[in-house]
Amino acid sequence: MSRPTPFGPAEATLLGMLATQAAIAIRNTQLINSLQQSEARYRGLFEESPISLWEEDFSAVKAYLDGVRAEGITDFAAYFEQHPAEIQRCAEMVRVIDVNRATLKLYRLSHKKELHNLGQTLNPDELNNFKAELLAITNGEVRFKGENLTDLLLSQDKIFVNLSWSVAPGYEATYARVLVSLVDVTEHKQAEEESQRRLAELEALGQISLELSAELDLDTLLNSIVLRATELFEAKLGGIYLYRPEADVLELAIATGSPQGRVAWSCIAVKECRAKFGKQAAP
């Protein structure tokens, strides 16, 4: 003899459905809690990272580039060469979602909102760098790296950075979520430039020493010294004044550059010498 159940078939079916929905609800709650914990961990790592991190939205840029391609453009390098203003336009389309504290420190800023319009912070050099990023997007790349890129702070101080970005998984079609990192390499770059400058100075001094030992006539020797000095300092004009004690005057011995430039340089140099030494100068 079967034991009677308190529920009929309809009630049993309903209870089964409710149990299934309850299980789904519990599972969803667990997933939400897990996602919230993961987001909290991500935010903690994002904010506390010693490297400058940016979270950006490139979706408007991606849509624009797709539209240009739909019009028949395939050579984007040539396109941006012919329409450089479009690089700035694309930069203004990038939306900065968030930056971390290291970014504020790097850019010497107090508030994140000061960097929320990326297009307003790019100088001509940075726009040229951004062009390389645009070309990477047109090639379907989801990662980008750029080294020793120049960046300009709002204070107009120049820094050098290594930049890299990657599209977050699941956003490859839209580029709506892109994580950007900047590593400040200014000190390394400055040390490298100082080393190159010192090497150039030593090479110039070495060349001058050789010419001094070659027993050249005075005019040739002075001309060589001025040429080496202007090359070393990347100057357009250069010259040497000699003091003639018997006449108590400064006399222009040699000058390099265009004739007009030499005259202008001579006038400036004579004026400065008179102001500094209080002696008669002869151009």
Whether the model pTM is above 0.75: no
CATH value of 50-184 in 3.30.2310.20, 3.40.50.2300, 3.20.20.140, 3.30.450.20: 3.30.450.20
What confidence tens digit (pLDDT) does each residue in 55-107 have? 999 999 999 999 999 999 999 999 999 999 999 999 999 998 889 988 888 88
Contact 161, 184 (CB under 8 A): yes
User: How does pLDDT run across 181-234, given as a tens digit for each residue?
Assistant: 988 888 877 777 777 777 777 777 777 676 666 656 767 777 777 777 777 777
Lowest mean pLDDT among 32-41, 57-66, 261-270: 261-270
Pairwise CA distance, residues 167 & 58, whole Å: 9
Domain residue limits, the chain? 50-184, 190-282
**How many Å separate Cα 91 from the centre of its chain?**
13
148-162 pLDDT, tens digit each:
777 666 666 788 888
pLDDT > 50? residue 281: no
pLDDT category, 256, cuts 50, 70, 90? confident
Per-residue HEC secondary structure of the chain comes to: CCCCCCCCHHHHHHHHHHHHHHHHHHHHHHHHHHHHHHHHHHHHHHHHCCCEEEEEECHHHHHHHHHHHHCCCCCHHHHHHHCCHHHHHHHHHCEEEEECHHHHHHCCCCCHHHHCEHHHHCCHHHHHHHHHHHHHHHCCCCEEEEEEEEEECCCCCEEEEEEEEEECCCCCCCCCCEEEEEEECHHHHHHHHHHHHHHHHHHHHHHHHHHHHCCCCHHHHHHHHHHHHHHHCCCCCEEEEEEECCCCEEEEEEEECCHHHHHHHHHHHHHHHHHHHCCEEEC
Spatial CB neighbours of 64, under 8 Å, sequence gap ≥ 6: 89, 90, 93
**Is the separation of the CB atoms in 145 and 163 below 8 Å?**
yes
Q: What confidence tens digit (pLDDT) does each residue in 51-62 have?
A: 888 999 999 999
Please, which residues have CB within 8 angstroms of residue 123's CB and are 6 or more apart in sequence?
Answer: 150, 152
